[in-house]
Amino acid sequence: MDSTSSSASLIIPSFRCFDATNHRRYYSTLPSCSPTPQGAGGGSASIHVMGNSTTIADPKIITGDCGYLLDDVPHLSDYIQDLPTYSNPLQDNPAYSVVKQYFVDVDDTVAEKIVVSKESPRGNHFRRAGPRQKVYFESDEVHACIVTCGGLCPGLNTVIREIVCGLYHMYGVTGVLGIEGGYKGFYARNTIPLTPKVVNDIHKRGGTILGTSRGGHDTSKIVDSIQDRGINQVYIIGGDGTQKGASVIFEEIRRRGLKVAVVGIPKTIDNDILVIDKSFGFDTAVEEAQRAISAAHVESESIENGIGLVKLMGRHSGFIAMYATLASRDVDCCLIPESPFYLEGPGGLFEYIEKRLNENGHMVIVVAEGAGQELLSGNTCTMDNIDASGNKQLQDVGFWISQKIKDHFSKKQKLTINLKYIDPTYMICAVPSNASDNVYCTLLAHSAIHGAMAGYTGFTVGPVNGKHSCIPFQRITERQNKVVITDRMWARCLSSTNQPSFFSPKQPFEKIGDEKHGDNHVEDLAIK
């Protein structure tokens, strides 16, 4: 294969530093020069080691005219000098060689914000995902591994399948291992050899063939295992906590100077990952939620004063509840974590339930699992327990609110209710992904593969305004994506249910602060 020498000589005109201690960003300006032909460079960011911990290195920010900022991702050549490059084998692949302009231009970027005013600066951009003309790995030297962490989500097996098949069919890679049981599987369990034949039908099944777990993150042991096994591409599938762990693994790998690409594929059924349009499994979850809502509707309208109560996923973000409500049109009330509510008194939930029952004789309530937790904390004995992933364990708002409703109306002798409580959480998490998510998972897997082969590392992949991009880990782990209750999508939901807002018009702005300008990319997709 064609082999040329490439070194990272780019000096970033302006870069943004990250203080891991107090999470502050500040800008520093350096002399400018032109990017390297590979577009991979970017002044080598320093690694700070304190004891056994590795702090987050400085992000790569490249500036341009008119307020242009490229939030770039790390590259192997940032810390390993004189890496050879090779011609991309896709140019000889009969399936891809006929596609004109298949390779992504090194200067292609994707805008984070597409709705701007006439005088707005160009703003933040991300490097566009896709195959490059030159790669930094020869096919026969690649030893890749895949790990799934956290809870189950529709589409996990599809992503695994497409990483294996994509590496094999596009780049001729035959050495792929599956790490069993999440992060702890790197040092506590066996691996599974993965081939296209092994993964051929797994997309038709729910769950993950690799198994999963929460916690178990021991950075030194994980990187030791990666180094000992000769692994040089690591594909990590998981939510924001998993991606934080992937970031730490990448930093340790960079500190050791290893030629190992670390790539994250963001997974969360709640759709609470920042920057990207939506997470895989979300479409399937909304579709499956319709079954539970439909059953609740049938139950409620088949009996006098029937109430169907459905609890859906959404620890901190109510996207599934909101979109399932909008899709169903059978829901009379939707309760999400971002929108506070109260039970008793004028304008409260009990008053609204009584009104709907008097009008229609039945009603359906959808509640996200993280809604109303502040009410439960004030009425029940709580324990501030956290799970192995560091998430605070929530109380069962569905069971709690169903009991509150029953207790309230049992005191009203003139109005007897019949309430049915449905919790389909684990049924939804365990189903195979639908057609839409299957296609999406394929694109995610391919974007991850192309980025790793091109030498990029320390990044995650996902669509930004419809275009798949390479996103630095720190951008998606800053905070969680939430429903912005001052946006039009939540207004559409309220209009669909005809429920009261349960708070004064000024309260949302006081409650969410800067999040009123949040990253609700799913709304953008719905509007298009």
**Model confidence pLDDT, tens digit, residues 140-184:** 999 999 999 999 999 999 999 999 999 999 999 999 999 999 999
Q: Bridge-partner residues for 335, per DSSP?
A: 367
Q: Is 181 annotated as a binding-site member?
A: no
Cβ neighbours of 173 (radius 10 Å): 24
Name, in order, each residue with C-beta under 8 angstroms of 132's C-beta and a sequence gap of 6 or more.
Answer: 38, 88, 103, 104, 106, 450, 453, 454
Question: CA 436, CA 57: separation in Å to the nearest integer?
Answer: 37
Identify the burial level of 145 via C-beta atoms within 10 angstroms of its C-beta, where 0-12 means exposed, 13-18 middle and 19 or more buried: buried
What pLDDT score does 19 carry? 36
Residue 354 has which token pair? Answer: 């009584």
- Contact between 216 and 188 under an 8 Å Cβ cutoff? The reply is yes
Q: Bridge-partner residues for 418, per DSSP?
A: 306
Name, in order, each residue with C-beta under 8 angstroms of 194's C-beta and a sequence gap of 6 or more.
Answer: 146, 160, 164, 176, 177, 178
Q: Is 166 annotated as a binding-site member?
A: no
Backbone angles phi, psi at 180, to 5 degrees: -85, 135
What pLDDT score does 56 carry? 59
Kindly give the residue spans of alpha helices, DSSP state H, lying in 172-265: 185-188, 219-229, 240-256
What pLDDT score does 431 carry? 95
Question: CA 176, CA 143: separation in Å to the nearest integer?
Answer: 6
User: How many Å separate Cα 487 from the centre of its chain?
Assistant: 21
- Contact between 60 and 12 under an 8 Å Cβ cutoff? The reply is yes
The residue behind tokens 């994506």 is 481
What pLDDT score does 413 carry? 67
- Contact between 10 and 41 under an 8 Å Cβ cutoff? The reply is yes
Each residue of 449-484: b (16+ CB within 10 Å) or e?
A: bbbbbbbbbbbbbbbbbebbbbbbbbbbbeebbbbb
Low-confidence ranges of the chain (pLDDT < 50): 1-53, 380-382, 504-506, 508-528
Question: CA 433, CA 442: separation in Å to the nearest integer?
Answer: 12
Residue 507 has which token pair? Answer: 């309260």
What pLDDT score does 36 carry? 37
Q: Is 72 annotated as a binding-site member?
A: no
Q: Is 107 annotated as a binding-site member?
A: no
Residue 514 has which token pair? Answer: 């800067």
Question: CA 323, CA 520: separation in Å to the nearest integer?
Answer: 13
Q: Bridge-partner residues for 395, per DSSP?
A: none
- Which of 143, 154, 209 lies closest to 181 in space, CA to CA? 209
- Give the DSSP H/E element, type plus range, for residue 410: helix 397-410
Question: CA 277, CA 2: separation in Å to the nearest integer?
Answer: 38
| Residues with active-site annotation | 270
Name, in order, each residue with C-beta under 8 angstroms of 271's C-beta and a sequence gap of 6 or more.
Answer: 278, 279, 282, 317, 319, 320, 481, 522
Length of the chain (residues): 528
Q: What is the largest CA-CA distance in the chain?
A: 84
Q: Is 148 annotated as a binding-site member?
A: no
Q: Bridge-partner residues for 264, per DSSP?
A: 236, 460
53-54/83-87 β-pairing: unpaired
Question: What are the CA-CA distances from residue 307 to residues 288, 320, 390 (Å)?
Answer: 20, 20, 35
Question: What is the 8-class DSSP label of residue 337?
Answer: T
Q: Is 239 annotated as a binding-site member?
A: yes
Q: Is 348 annotated as a binding-site member?
A: no
Q: Bridge-partner residues for 312, per DSSP?
A: 368
